Structures are given as structure tokens and as C-alpha cells.
Structure 1
Amino acid sequence: MHTNTLIMSLSDTYFRHQCIIRRLLKAPASLQELKDYYELECETHDYSFIFSQRTFLRDKEEILSLHKKDIQYNPSLRKYYLEEDHMPDDLGERIADAYNTYQALNLADGLSDFVYLEKRRPQGMEHFHPLLHAIRSRLVVTFQYEKYLDEHISERRVEPLALKEFQSRWYLLAKDLKDHSLKTFALDRITSLEASRQKYKADKGFNVNEYFRHCFGIIRPSVPESKPQDIVLQFVPGKGKYIKSLPLHESQRILKDDEEGLQVALELYITHDLIMELLSHGADVTVLQPASLRKTLNEIYNRAEKIYQH
């Protein structure tokens, strides 16, 4: 099959998957209702209309495999429905969000008149696919790396372990073969990336999700004995609504939510990334515990006050 034809075919299939998922997220639907919804979406997006019981049954299996969403049939209602929380899939949701955004923007004529896109674009994304290949193939890679604070460029030889996103930037988690310690490298500071033919043995006991579980951002304490802290924050009422809609971290738990504001608990390492996040909320957040974190923020605010007084 010609490459362009294959891409179009895959795009049509993914579009059909998203239509089915979106319709079933609203409410259970019969096969005819799914077909009607898909036909309407095809007219809106100028797609070719291909929907039958045979294609739906195939799509149903592919949706479970690719999107981790299980479609079941209710005989009494004679309708299909989505099984709740079958297998959460953050990556699948991100891909779906990106695809739906692309579909919406692709419809727009004179896009710049009413859609304003972020001008800042993360650098270093050309390294994403080569690094992903090296991680999956367990290949040692070398690259030049620049530290912004001291403007020093060094040669690195590492065993790449994972890629992590934080605040619209991508980072590589790798074992530095110079001192055999785990480090994170920003993709936008990497140049001259090369994958060698040398393979490395992965540590079977290492789990990247566990490594970052109690981290806010990409920094983890260098001291192995460091423990995550129980942190309690109080947000003013208006800010609290934002924190509920977009939690600071997966460990976030709501302790109190009333007219005085939102109180949440988190279990995190206290790192530079976390402190910078709390400072960004200014007077809208108060650290209730631990005392050490309150003291750190208080010292930073006092130094800033002295600077602006002069």
C-alpha cells in the first residue's frame, strides 16, 4: 500500500474510533445511533463514510487494544456502553486530545483570526524518536550537554531509561556511565546525539513510575535516604477551584473545601521544582506543614522584600 494511502487509512480508522468513544461517553447507544453520530461527524469533517456492523466489531476490539476502553453490550437495552475505568491509559488520552485538537483546527479558515497558539515551542524534540528507539533497544547513547547555569558543555555517555515531560519540556532519565548515577537531561540542551551499537542490561528492579512517584517535576533528592514529606497547603477559594480542576500532583487529596478555601495534602519530596511551583501561586497559597517548608518560603519572601525595598 502506498505510504500516503496507508496514512489516510489509519487516520480514517482513528477518527472512527474517536467518534465511537465520544458518543458512548455521552450515553449508551445502539448500533444505529452510533452510525448516525458517525455519519454526522463525517459530514462535518468531510470524511468518507464507512460504518457497518462488521467494521464496528473490528473497531470495538481495536479500541480495547489501542485506547484501553472496553465496549460492552446491554441486551435488555439493546445498546452498547463503555465499561467504567477498565484500564486507565494516560498516553492514549493525550494522543486523543492531540488528535481532537488537530481535527478542530483543521476545520478552521483564517485560523489566526480567532485561535491564538502558544509561540513558545519546546526545543530538542528532534531527539525524541532516536532516544525512544535507544531506550526500547537498550542502546548506549552519547551526546553533548550544556548546563545553563555554568555554560559548560560536556560529553555524556549514558544508558537511556525513560523520557519524562514536565511543564511542556521533555527530559531524559539516564544512567551516566561516568559515575553510574541516575540523572535527568533536558532534551533542549542536548546536541550531537548518537546511538551506539553497544547494548546494556536493564535493571529488572528499576521502575520509572516508582522513581518519580513522589517527585514534583524532574528533580529527585540526591541523598538516597531522603523520604517524601506530608505536605498540607491552603488555597484561597478562587485559586482552589483551579487546583481541583488541575491537581498539582497525583498524590493530591482534598482535606477541606469550604468558604475559607481549599486545603489539600500531598506526599512529595521537597525539591527546587516544588518550591518554585509554590512561589508561583504567591499569596494565594499558605503552607500549613511541614514547618521546614514554611521556613524556606518565608526566607525567600524576606530576601525578595529586601531587594524590592531598595
Structure 2
Amino acid sequence: MPINRATLIRISTIDRCLQNRYRRWTINDLIEACTDALAEFEGRANPVSRRTFQNDLALMRSDRLGYNAPIVVRDNKYYEYEDPDFTITHLPLNDEGLDALNSALDILRQLQCFPQLASSIETISKLNEQISRRTGVSVPAMDMEHVAGYRGERFIGMIYDAVRKHRTITIEYQSFKASRPDTLTVYPYLLKEYRNRWFLVGEKSTNRAPHVNIFALDRIHSVKFDHEHPFRKCAGFDPEHFFDDTIGVTRQIGDKPRHVVIDIDSTQAPYIESKPFHRSQKVEQRFDDGSIRISLKVVINSELVRLILGYGGHAEVIAPTELRVKVAESVIKAADRYRE
């Protein structure tokens, strides 16, 4: 059974519940607590199955992670620790447990900007201390990109709650072009991260037709819940699939993906095959010199143009014509800056 972040959140939730001796916990109570804990992280409720819960209990009771948790059932109904002082955070871990939890912790360390995970993070931090003492190593083995001091990070938790609970918010927002912030009433639909920046996809209350607005969190000055305007859904916006055919965050309802064809020279072809521009990428042709022709089915936007420009002379847009012209104009403008 793999020890992933969902498993770690569930067993830490079960441990936290069983430490509360002022309540009697049925299997349904514990499953509900685990479901709620995962929902706080995932943003949508996916009920934990009884089989998954039983597997978690078996893992905690076993020696696999070194817990040997004394979980007993009273009156054939209520779960509790036989030892009232027991907690998984006070135990030494075996080697397999150390290795499994270290891997999960490396991932979960990156998620501390979500206050909804605070209780799980606290338990996880205690486990991390044990790992550090046991191994004598406190340096993580994984480093995910993170922008230190990112100004929008402080709003992630509140906006996440607003999206998940369908609550209208009021924000003070100042775009790069504006001289001062505007106060806007917004219906929040989705939080999206792109290249270490977070964006709120929502709709201003003043929109007369279905239209989504993209707000960069680092341009938001304040956020508060709005109790005067009932939440309104946007017709045509599907948060699960809205960005499926988009690179970045710039697109509108009604934008259609286009068939994009790009030639990549031999020096960059291996890299672009190993890290595609987009999930729709296909290799349409391979040339004798090692270069390739790829196709994408994506919305044409500024992020696509910047991505292509990032490869400089190694990439050439073949179609559609409008994208080829946009990229060519940017290349000419850049070349002009270097001419004496």
C-alpha cells in the first residue's frame, strides 16, 4: 500500500480523533472526519470508502511504519486507543516507515500556504522531527519551486474557502496598468497556479454576459467575504475542464482551440519531446537532420506566444498564419533592440 499524501492526511486525522477522549468515535464518524480533511485539501468531497479506512487502520496497527497502534473497538461500535496517552507522533519509526514518510513529507512541506491543512501539518511536523532525530538529517530530498515572499500567498486560504463554499467576495485589486486599486465584487470559481503565480478565476458582479475574469493574487490588496451579493455561477464555465486546451491562464468562454504546427530543430527536439508544450502535443513528422514537426490543439494566447519565443531560433511556427505573424513580429521587435 503506497504511503502518499492522502494516506498521510487520513492517518493523521484518525490519530487526532482518537486522541480526543471526550468523544466516542464510530466508523462512520472517523470516515467522515477523514473525508472532511481530504476535502479541505482537494476542494471537493470524495468520500473515503470503508475499505480504504480499514486499510488505514491495518497500517496503523501494523509494524510497517512502526506504529503498532493499540486501536480497539468498544461495544462492537466505538474506536479508541487502548492506551489513552498513545499517539503516532510519539513513536520511533522503523526504516521502511522513515523512508515512506520522508517521501510524503517532502511533498506536504510545499503545501503550508493552505491554512486548511494546519492540523495535519502540525502532526506531520512532529513526524518530521522524529525523522530528523532518527536519521540525523533534516535536509529535504526534494525542492519544488517556491517564490519566497510571494505577496499573494496570504490570500490563498481565504479564496480557497470562498471557491469551495461558493461564497461571494469583495477584493481590492490593482492591475499593473492602474494607478490605484479598484473595489470589486467577485464570484470566485477557481484558484489556478501557473509558473509560481496564483490566479483567481472568477466573475465580476458587473458582468452583463457570461465572462470570466482572471485576477493575479499578487495584485490583490485585500479580500473579505461579501454577505450582500448571493453567489452566482457562470454559465459555460467548467472548472474541471476549462483550461484543458490552454497553456497558462489567458482565455475566455467561447475561445476555441486551434491546430498549431511548429517545427523544432534537432538541438531542442529531444527536450520538447520529453517535456511537451501541452498534453495535446503530437509529433507529426521527423526529418533526416533530427528536427521534428509537432502539432498542438490549444487556444492561441500570450502565454503560448511567450513559450514559443522562449526557444528563440530553435522553433518556427508553421500554422496558423495569425500565430506565425505574432511570433514573427515579436522576433523582429527583439532583433531591432540589438541593432546599433
Shorter-chain TM-score: which interval? 0.5 to 0.7
AA aligned opposite 2:157: H
Deviation of residue 305 (structure 1)? Answer: 1.5
Aligned residue for 2:198? 170
Deviation of residue 264 (structure 1)? Answer: 1.6
- 8 Å Cα contact 2:284-2:293 kept in structure 1: yes
Aligned residue for 2:274? 245
Cα distance 1:300–1:131, how it changes in 2: closer, same or farther (>3 A)?
Answer: same
> 2:314 and 2:106 mapped to 1: Cα distance?
30
2:291 counterpart (243, 261, 273)? 261
AA aligned opposite 1:242: Y
2:322 counterpart (266, 282, 292)? 292
- 8 Å Cα contact 1:221-1:269 kept in structure 2: no
Aligned residue for 1:67? none
Q: Deviations over 1:242-294 (max 9, x none)?
A: 22222211222222346522322111222111111111111121112112222
Alignment of 1:132-171 (within 5 A): 132-171=160-199
Aligned residue for 1:230? 259
Aligned residue for 2:159? 131
Deviation of residue 194 (structure 1)? Answer: 0.2
AA aligned opposite 1:98: I
Report the TM-score when normalising by structure 2: 0.57
Secondary structure of the structure 2 residue equivalent to 1:199 = coil
AA aligned opposite 1:206: F
Q: Deviations over 1:150-193 (max 9, x none)?
A: 44311111111111111121111111112343101011111220
Cα distance 1:286–1:97, how it changes in 2: closer, same or farther (>3 A)?
Answer: farther
Deviation of residue 299 (structure 1)? Answer: 1.6
- 8 Å Cα contact 2:283-2:295 kept in structure 1: yes
Moved more, 97-106 or 180-189: 97-106
> 2:109 and 2:145 mapped to 1: Cα distance?
17
Aligned residue for 1:184? 214
Report the TM-score when normalising by structure 1: 0.62
1:120 counterpart (147, 152, 158)? 147
2:224 counterpart (194, 212, 215)? 194
2:239 counterpart (194, 197, 208)? 208
1:217 counterpart (248, 257, 263)? 248
AA aligned opposite 1:265: S
Identity of paired residues, percent? Answer: 21
Deviation of residue 100 (structure 1)? Answer: 9.1
Aligned residue for 1:271? 301
Cα distance 1:104–1:249, how it changes in 2: closer, same or farther (>3 A)?
Answer: farther
Deviation of residue 141 (structure 1)? Answer: 0.2
Q: Deviations over 1:12-59 (max 9, x none)?
A: xx9xxxxxxxxxxxxxxxxxxxx9xx978x5xxxx6467xxxxxxxxx
Aligned residue for 1:301? 331
> 1:206 and 1:293 mapped to 2: Cα distance?
26
Secondary structure of the structure 2 residue equivalent to 1:156 = strand
Aligned residue for 1:90? none
Aligned residue for 1:63? none
Deviation of residue 217 (structure 1)? Answer: 0.7
Q: How big is the alpha-carbon RMSD for the aligned residues of Structure 1 and Structure 2?
A: 3.9
Cα distance 1:135–1:151, how it changes in 2: closer, same or farther (>3 A)?
Answer: same
Cα distance 1:212–1:158, how it changes in 2: closer, same or farther (>3 A)?
Answer: same
Secondary structure of the structure 2 residue equivalent to 1:184 = strand
Q: Deviations over 1:208-232 (max 9, x none)?
A: 244323221110158x4x5322101
Gaps of 5+ in 1: 15-34, 51-94
- 8 Å Cα contact 1:140-1:196 kept in structure 2: yes
> 1:206 and 1:167 mapped to 2: Cα distance?
23
- 8 Å Cα contact 1:138-1:199 kept in structure 2: no
Alignment of 1:28-43 (within 5 A): 42=65
Cα distance 1:98–1:115, how it changes in 2: closer, same or farther (>3 A)?
Answer: closer
